[in-house]
Amino acid sequence: MKFAARVFGVVLASGLITGFPAVLSPAQAAAPKCNTDAGTAQSLKLSSLKTGDTVTVCASWLVTSQTTSVGPPAQSSGSASGRVSTSPKSTKLIVPQRRFFSATPDRPTIKSNVYQSIKPGQPVLLASTATRHQHLALLLGKPTMLRFTPVSYRWTTGDSAVSGRSQVRHRYKNVGRYTVRMSVNFKSEVRVLPGGRWLTLPFQVTKVAPSVEIVVANEKPNLGGVAVLVGKTCLEHPSAVGC
């Protein structure tokens, strides 16, 4: 327990935690029915459950006990001394004490290079803020991480164009207002510290970003979202992008 506490303190100090979900005892809340096996790690049996965009990890102790066989001892075959031996049995017992915690991937947002409006045919740069991140909680006294990693994207630009890239470069042909939408699929993994390996859970979680409106007009474009480098100053080349 002291070693686990030290590891937990190191993880806190290193800034690896993006969230700290509360761990409720069975007396405080009913344990969820985690019906998907996630493997074993650090003497824990792990299982999981996905509800909407929330992932729950459950843990129970996995104990191995040694017991001797029951009944009269049998004489060992081939023993000249006539000694007898018993065969120990190895039995795995699941202690009915469970703990669990739940976490949800961070909601991504859409970034673009358009501040107010852009002309038809000008490039619009769209990017997602989704990154790999993790949550940490104590499961039966052991620091346990739940990690989310973006694996796929879906973009709709409002003019029937669709993309599956993490970043999109798009041009609108006509004047108008267009709603950009984006969703991200995250894979989920769990790890028990210290030294445990990442165990991949058999489902993905989808998070939808807040939509963004792009205005396409015949006015001078306003590219205030990102820095644009040009070969000359705006006084020397007033028609350059960003001037």
Q: Is 134 within the bounds of a domain?
A: yes
Quote the Cα angle for 121-123-124, to 5°: 120
- Would the pLDDT of 184 be above 70? yes
| Any domain includes 8 | yes
d(CA 198, CA 57): 13
Shortest CA distance to 59 belongs to which of 142, 146, 139? 139
Residue 87 lies inside a defined structural domain of this protein: no
- How far apart CA 43 and CA 185 sit, in angstroms, is 31
Q: What is the CATH number of the domain that holds 130?
A: 2.60.40.10
CA dihedral 155, 157, 158, 163 (to 10 degrees): -50
Give the residue carrying structure tokens 């609108």: 172
Confidence of residue 3 (pLDDT cuts 50, 70, 90): very low
User: Can you tell me the distance from the alpha carbon of 61 to that of 238, in angstroms, rounded to the nearest whole number?
Assistant: 70
- Please measure the distance between the N-terminal and C-terminal CA atoms of the chain and give it in whole angstroms: 62
Angle at the Cα of 119 (from 211 to 178), degrees rounded to 5?
25
How far, in Å, CA of 48 to CA of 57, rounded?
5
Whether 170 is in a domain gets the answer yes
- Checking if the pLDDT of 149 tops 70, the result is yes
CA distance linking residue 163 with residue 180, whole number of Å: 11
In a domain, 172, yes or no: yes
Total domains, the chain: 1
What number is the average pLDDT over the span 189-197? 90
Domain of 150, in residue numbers: 2-67+95-216
The answer to whether the beta carbons of residues 31 and 98 sit under 8 Å apart is yes
Helices (H) and strands (E) in the chain, counts: 1, 15
Residue 75 lies in a domain: no
Calpha distance 184→207 (Å, rounded) = 5
More confident of the two residues 42 and 124 = 124
Q: H or E element: which one contains 44?
A: strand 44-51
Look at the pTM and tell me if it is higher than 0.75. Answer: no
Residue 234 is assigned to a structural domain of this protein: no
- Residue 157, pLDDT > 80, answer yes
Confidence at 129, pLDDT banded by 50, 70, 90: very high
Q: Which two tokens stand for residue 68?
A: 């001797």
Could you tell me which of 210, 11, 191 has the C-alpha nearest to residue 103?
Answer: 191
234: pLDDT confidence band, cut at 50, 70 and 90?
low
